[in-house]
Amino acid sequence: MARPAPGADRSVAVLELLADHPKDRFTLSEVARRCGLNKATAHALLSALTAHGILLRHPEEKRYSLGPRLVAIGDAALNGYTAIDFAPSVLGRLAAETGLRTAAIRLEDDTISVIARAGAGADLEAPLPRLPHIPPLGALFMAWSDEPSTEAWLARAPASEVVGRLLEALPTIRRLGFAVTLWSEDYHRLFASGADRPSHDELRLLLAEVGRKGPLPAEVDTATSYRVHDVAAPVFRADGRVELAVAAATPPSRRDGIEMSGAEVLALGKRVMGAAQELTFAVHGRRPPTDAAGL
Protein backbone atom coordinates (compact mmCIF):
# COMPACT_ATOMS: atom_id res chain seq x y z
CA MET A 1 0.00 0.00 0.00
CA ALA A 2 1.36 3.44 -0.99
CA ARG A 3 2.38 5.72 1.88
CA PRO A 4 0.36 8.95 2.29
CA ALA A 5 1.98 12.09 0.82
CA PRO A 6 0.26 15.03 2.52
CA GLY A 7 2.53 17.56 0.82
CA ALA A 8 1.49 16.32 -2.61
CA ASP A 9 -2.18 16.29 -1.62
CA ARG A 10 -1.95 19.90 -0.43
CA SER A 11 -0.26 21.00 -3.65
CA VAL A 12 -2.98 19.33 -5.71
CA ALA A 13 -5.67 21.01 -3.59
CA VAL A 14 -4.17 24.44 -4.27
CA LEU A 15 -3.83 23.80 -8.01
CA GLU A 16 -7.39 22.48 -8.26
CA LEU A 17 -8.71 25.53 -6.41
CA LEU A 18 -7.06 27.90 -8.88
CA ALA A 19 -7.95 25.76 -11.89
CA ASP A 20 -11.61 25.61 -10.84
CA HIS A 21 -11.69 29.43 -10.62
CA PRO A 22 -9.50 30.54 -13.56
CA LYS A 23 -10.77 34.15 -13.50
CA ASP A 24 -10.20 34.64 -9.77
CA ARG A 25 -7.04 35.51 -7.84
CA PHE A 26 -6.58 34.37 -4.23
CA THR A 27 -4.69 35.77 -1.25
CA LEU A 28 -2.71 33.61 1.13
CA SER A 29 -5.55 33.74 3.67
CA GLU A 30 -8.14 32.74 1.06
CA VAL A 31 -6.06 29.79 -0.16
CA ALA A 32 -5.48 28.61 3.41
CA ARG A 33 -9.18 28.82 4.25
CA ARG A 34 -10.47 27.26 1.02
CA CYS A 35 -7.93 24.39 1.14
CA GLY A 36 -8.16 23.74 4.88
CA LEU A 37 -4.53 24.69 5.62
CA ASN A 38 -2.97 26.75 8.37
CA LYS A 39 -1.31 29.96 7.17
CA ALA A 40 2.24 28.80 7.83
CA THR A 41 1.77 25.64 5.75
CA ALA A 42 -0.02 27.56 3.00
CA HIS A 43 2.73 30.20 2.87
CA ALA A 44 5.48 27.61 2.53
CA LEU A 45 3.55 25.74 -0.14
CA LEU A 46 2.66 28.84 -2.17
CA SER A 47 6.24 30.12 -1.96
CA ALA A 48 7.62 26.83 -3.28
CA LEU A 49 5.10 26.65 -6.15
CA THR A 50 5.81 30.27 -7.05
CA ALA A 51 9.57 29.71 -7.05
CA HIS A 52 9.10 26.99 -9.68
CA GLY A 53 6.78 29.06 -11.87
CA ILE A 54 3.80 26.86 -11.06
CA LEU A 55 2.09 29.90 -9.54
CA LEU A 56 2.47 33.64 -10.00
CA ARG A 57 2.13 36.21 -7.16
CA HIS A 58 1.19 39.80 -7.87
CA PRO A 59 3.72 42.01 -6.02
CA GLU A 60 1.18 44.67 -5.00
CA GLU A 61 -2.13 42.78 -4.75
CA LYS A 62 -0.36 39.81 -3.14
CA ARG A 63 -2.76 37.44 -4.87
CA TYR A 64 -1.91 34.16 -6.60
CA SER A 65 -2.79 32.72 -10.01
CA LEU A 66 -1.65 29.72 -12.01
CA GLY A 67 1.80 30.21 -13.55
CA PRO A 68 3.40 29.78 -16.99
CA ARG A 69 5.22 26.58 -16.10
CA LEU A 70 1.87 24.79 -16.22
CA VAL A 71 1.52 25.65 -19.93
CA ALA A 72 4.57 23.55 -20.79
CA ILE A 73 3.39 20.80 -18.44
CA GLY A 74 -0.03 20.83 -20.10
CA ASP A 75 1.50 20.59 -23.57
CA ALA A 76 3.57 17.61 -22.45
CA ALA A 77 0.48 15.97 -20.95
CA LEU A 78 -1.18 15.98 -24.38
CA ASN A 79 1.38 13.37 -25.43
CA GLY A 80 0.70 11.16 -22.43
CA TYR A 81 -1.74 8.28 -22.05
CA THR A 82 -5.35 8.80 -23.14
CA ALA A 83 -8.45 6.68 -22.70
CA ILE A 84 -7.70 5.07 -26.06
CA ASP A 85 -4.59 3.44 -24.59
CA PHE A 86 -6.65 1.74 -21.87
CA ALA A 87 -9.63 0.82 -24.06
CA PRO A 88 -8.67 -2.64 -25.46
CA SER A 89 -8.65 -4.46 -22.12
CA VAL A 90 -11.88 -2.78 -21.00
CA LEU A 91 -13.59 -3.67 -24.29
CA GLY A 92 -12.42 -7.26 -23.98
CA ARG A 93 -13.92 -7.65 -20.52
CA LEU A 94 -17.17 -6.01 -21.56
CA ALA A 95 -17.45 -8.34 -24.57
CA ALA A 96 -16.83 -11.38 -22.36
CA GLU A 97 -19.45 -10.24 -19.82
CA THR A 98 -22.18 -9.44 -22.35
CA GLY A 99 -21.43 -11.79 -25.25
CA LEU A 100 -21.76 -8.80 -27.58
CA ARG A 101 -19.47 -7.02 -30.00
CA THR A 102 -17.85 -4.04 -28.25
CA ALA A 103 -16.18 -0.95 -29.66
CA ALA A 104 -14.57 2.35 -28.76
CA ILE A 105 -15.75 5.24 -30.91
CA ARG A 106 -14.19 8.68 -31.35
CA LEU A 107 -15.48 11.95 -32.79
CA GLU A 108 -12.77 13.94 -34.53
CA ASP A 109 -12.86 16.47 -37.37
CA ASP A 110 -16.60 15.88 -37.90
CA THR A 111 -15.97 12.17 -38.44
CA ILE A 112 -17.17 9.35 -36.21
CA SER A 113 -14.61 6.54 -36.19
CA VAL A 114 -14.49 3.11 -34.60
CA ILE A 115 -10.93 2.95 -33.25
CA ALA A 116 -10.97 -0.36 -31.34
CA ARG A 117 -13.27 -3.38 -31.08
CA ALA A 118 -13.52 -6.72 -29.35
CA GLY A 119 -15.77 -9.74 -29.06
CA ALA A 120 -16.30 -13.00 -30.87
CA GLY A 121 -18.78 -11.38 -33.24
CA ALA A 122 -16.36 -8.69 -34.37
CA ASP A 123 -14.73 -9.08 -37.78
CA LEU A 124 -11.29 -7.83 -36.77
CA GLU A 125 -10.06 -8.00 -40.36
CA ALA A 126 -12.76 -5.70 -41.76
CA PRO A 127 -11.95 -1.98 -42.15
CA LEU A 128 -12.85 0.13 -39.13
CA PRO A 129 -16.04 2.12 -39.89
CA ARG A 130 -15.89 5.90 -40.43
CA LEU A 131 -19.08 7.94 -40.75
CA PRO A 132 -19.86 11.66 -41.03
CA HIS A 133 -21.03 13.51 -37.92
CA ILE A 134 -24.52 14.13 -39.28
CA PRO A 135 -27.66 13.74 -37.13
CA PRO A 136 -28.75 11.38 -35.76
CA LEU A 137 -25.20 9.98 -35.65
CA GLY A 138 -23.10 11.23 -32.75
CA ALA A 139 -25.95 12.02 -30.36
CA LEU A 140 -24.01 10.58 -27.42
CA PHE A 141 -21.18 13.06 -27.98
CA MET A 142 -23.58 15.99 -28.32
CA ALA A 143 -25.66 15.16 -25.22
CA TRP A 144 -22.91 16.71 -23.04
CA SER A 145 -21.71 19.30 -25.54
CA ASP A 146 -22.19 23.08 -25.37
CA GLU A 147 -25.22 24.72 -26.94
CA PRO A 148 -23.46 26.26 -30.00
CA SER A 149 -21.88 22.92 -30.93
CA THR A 150 -25.20 21.10 -30.51
CA GLU A 151 -27.03 23.66 -32.62
CA ALA A 152 -24.39 23.44 -35.38
CA TRP A 153 -24.76 19.65 -35.38
CA LEU A 154 -28.55 19.80 -35.55
CA ALA A 155 -28.30 22.26 -38.46
CA ARG A 156 -26.68 19.47 -40.50
CA ALA A 157 -29.70 17.17 -40.07
CA PRO A 158 -30.78 15.65 -43.41
CA ALA A 159 -34.49 16.16 -42.59
CA SER A 160 -36.35 18.59 -40.32
CA GLU A 161 -38.20 15.75 -38.56
CA VAL A 162 -34.86 14.47 -37.25
CA VAL A 163 -34.27 17.58 -35.13
CA GLY A 164 -37.47 17.26 -33.09
CA ARG A 165 -36.80 13.61 -32.29
CA LEU A 166 -33.25 14.38 -31.19
CA LEU A 167 -34.35 17.24 -28.95
CA GLU A 168 -36.50 14.68 -27.13
CA ALA A 169 -33.73 12.05 -26.99
CA LEU A 170 -30.75 14.14 -25.79
CA PRO A 171 -32.14 14.82 -22.27
CA THR A 172 -32.87 11.09 -21.88
CA ILE A 173 -29.28 10.24 -22.80
CA ARG A 174 -27.96 12.67 -20.19
CA ARG A 175 -30.35 11.40 -17.53
CA LEU A 176 -29.64 7.71 -18.12
CA GLY A 177 -25.92 8.19 -18.71
CA PHE A 178 -26.00 6.12 -21.89
CA ALA A 179 -27.65 6.01 -25.32
CA VAL A 180 -29.80 3.22 -26.76
CA THR A 181 -29.93 2.91 -30.55
CA LEU A 182 -32.78 0.84 -31.95
CA TRP A 183 -32.16 -1.61 -34.77
CA SER A 184 -33.42 -1.00 -38.28
CA GLU A 185 -32.36 -2.28 -41.68
CA ASP A 186 -31.38 1.26 -42.70
CA TYR A 187 -29.26 1.80 -39.59
CA HIS A 188 -27.60 -1.59 -40.08
CA ARG A 189 -26.69 -0.61 -43.65
CA LEU A 190 -24.81 2.47 -42.46
CA PHE A 191 -22.04 0.20 -41.19
CA ALA A 192 -21.75 -1.96 -44.29
CA SER A 193 -18.26 -2.36 -45.76
CA GLY A 194 -16.77 -3.27 -49.12
CA ALA A 195 -19.12 -3.39 -52.08
CA ASP A 196 -22.13 -3.00 -49.75
CA ARG A 197 -20.89 0.32 -48.37
CA PRO A 198 -23.39 3.10 -49.25
CA SER A 199 -22.27 5.96 -51.48
CA HIS A 200 -22.24 9.55 -50.19
CA ASP A 201 -25.70 10.27 -51.62
CA GLU A 202 -27.09 6.97 -50.35
CA LEU A 203 -25.63 7.73 -46.93
CA ARG A 204 -27.57 10.98 -46.58
CA LEU A 205 -30.78 9.27 -47.67
CA LEU A 206 -30.20 6.51 -45.12
CA LEU A 207 -29.49 9.02 -42.37
CA ALA A 208 -32.68 10.91 -43.19
CA GLU A 209 -34.72 7.72 -43.07
CA VAL A 210 -33.08 6.55 -39.87
CA GLY A 211 -33.65 9.94 -38.27
CA ARG A 212 -37.33 10.02 -39.20
CA LYS A 213 -37.86 6.64 -37.54
CA GLY A 214 -36.28 7.90 -34.33
CA PRO A 215 -33.44 5.45 -33.54
CA LEU A 216 -32.95 6.95 -30.07
CA PRO A 217 -35.94 6.33 -27.76
CA ALA A 218 -37.06 9.29 -25.68
CA GLU A 219 -37.72 6.88 -22.79
CA VAL A 220 -36.90 3.30 -21.79
CA ASP A 221 -39.97 1.60 -20.34
CA THR A 222 -39.33 -1.59 -18.35
CA ALA A 223 -42.66 -3.01 -19.56
CA THR A 224 -41.80 -2.53 -23.25
CA SER A 225 -39.70 -4.70 -25.58
CA TYR A 226 -37.04 -3.13 -27.80
CA ARG A 227 -35.07 -4.34 -30.78
CA VAL A 228 -31.62 -2.99 -29.97
CA HIS A 229 -28.70 -2.29 -32.27
CA ASP A 230 -26.32 -0.95 -29.64
CA VAL A 231 -25.98 0.68 -26.23
CA ALA A 232 -23.21 3.25 -25.75
CA ALA A 233 -21.86 5.33 -22.85
CA PRO A 234 -19.46 8.30 -22.72
CA VAL A 235 -15.87 8.46 -21.52
CA PHE A 236 -15.14 11.94 -20.19
CA ARG A 237 -11.97 13.99 -20.29
CA ALA A 238 -10.71 16.12 -17.41
CA ASP A 239 -12.51 19.15 -18.87
CA GLY A 240 -15.85 17.29 -18.92
CA ARG A 241 -15.96 16.77 -22.68
CA VAL A 242 -16.70 13.35 -24.16
CA GLU A 243 -13.46 11.78 -25.40
CA LEU A 244 -14.78 8.37 -26.45
CA ALA A 245 -17.93 6.31 -26.56
CA VAL A 246 -17.91 2.70 -25.38
CA ALA A 247 -20.53 0.59 -27.15
CA ALA A 248 -21.92 -2.94 -26.91
CA ALA A 249 -23.60 -3.83 -30.19
CA THR A 250 -25.44 -6.54 -32.08
CA PRO A 251 -22.94 -8.92 -33.73
CA PRO A 252 -22.64 -8.35 -37.51
CA SER A 253 -24.10 -11.79 -38.18
CA ARG A 254 -27.39 -10.77 -36.55
CA ARG A 255 -29.45 -8.95 -39.18
CA ASP A 256 -32.47 -8.25 -37.00
CA GLY A 257 -31.01 -6.78 -33.82
CA ILE A 258 -31.48 -8.19 -30.33
CA GLU A 259 -34.94 -8.32 -28.77
CA MET A 260 -34.67 -7.05 -25.19
CA SER A 261 -37.07 -6.00 -22.47
CA GLY A 262 -36.77 -2.50 -21.08
CA ALA A 263 -35.32 -3.93 -17.88
CA GLU A 264 -32.67 -5.81 -19.89
CA VAL A 265 -31.82 -2.65 -21.82
CA LEU A 266 -31.31 -0.72 -18.58
CA ALA A 267 -29.17 -3.53 -17.16
CA LEU A 268 -26.99 -3.58 -20.28
CA GLY A 269 -26.75 0.21 -20.13
CA LYS A 270 -25.41 0.03 -16.59
CA ARG A 271 -22.77 -2.51 -17.65
CA VAL A 272 -21.65 -0.38 -20.59
CA MET A 273 -21.68 2.74 -18.43
CA GLY A 274 -19.50 0.92 -15.89
CA ALA A 275 -16.92 0.15 -18.58
CA ALA A 276 -16.97 3.78 -19.75
CA GLN A 277 -16.60 5.02 -16.17
CA GLU A 278 -13.58 2.76 -15.72
CA LEU A 279 -11.88 4.55 -18.62
CA THR A 280 -13.00 7.95 -17.30
CA PHE A 281 -11.44 7.16 -13.91
CA ALA A 282 -8.25 5.86 -15.58
CA VAL A 283 -7.59 9.26 -17.15
CA HIS A 284 -9.02 11.25 -14.20
CA GLY A 285 -11.88 12.53 -16.30
CA ARG A 286 -14.93 14.31 -14.91
CA ARG A 287 -18.55 13.91 -15.82
CA PRO A 288 -20.17 17.38 -16.00
CA PRO A 289 -23.40 18.10 -14.12
CA THR A 290 -26.41 16.80 -16.05
CA ASP A 291 -28.12 20.18 -16.03
CA ALA A 292 -25.01 22.03 -17.29
CA ALA A 293 -24.81 20.47 -20.77
CA GLY A 294 -26.72 20.39 -24.00
CA LEU A 295 -29.73 22.41 -25.08
Q: Are strands 63-66 and 258-261 parallel, antiparallel or unpaired?
A: unpaired
Query: Percent of the chain beyond pLDDT 70?
Result: 90
pLDDT tens-digit readout, 93-107 = 999 999 999 999 999
From residue 219, alpha-carbon distances to 29, 154, 164, 167, 173 in Å are 50, 20, 15, 13, 9
- Show the domains of the chain with their CATH numbers: 6-77 (1.10.10.10), 83-292 (3.30.450.40)
Of the listed ranges 71-80, 94-103, 119-128, 283-292, the least confidently predicted one is 119-128
pLDDT tens-digit readout, 213-238 = 889 998 999 999 999 999 999 999 98
Query: pLDDT at position 194, please?
Result: 64
Given a cut of 80, is residue 71 above it in pLDDT?
A: yes
What's the pTM value of the predicted model, to 2 decimals?
0.79
From residue 177, alpha-carbon distances to 38, 233, 244, 269 in Å are 40, 6, 14, 8
Q: Are 174 and 143 in contact (CB under 8 A)?
A: yes
CB crowding 91-102: b at 16 or more within 10 Å, else e: beebbeebebbb
d(CA 228, CA 32): 53
d(CA 187, CA 129): 13
Query: Which residues have a Cβ under 8 Å from the Cβ of 197 and sit 6 or more positions away?
Result: none
pLDDT tens-digit readout, 6-47 = 778 899 999 999 988 989 999 999 999 999 999 999 999 999
pLDDT tens-digit readout, 130-160 = 899 999 999 999 999 999 999 999 999 988 8
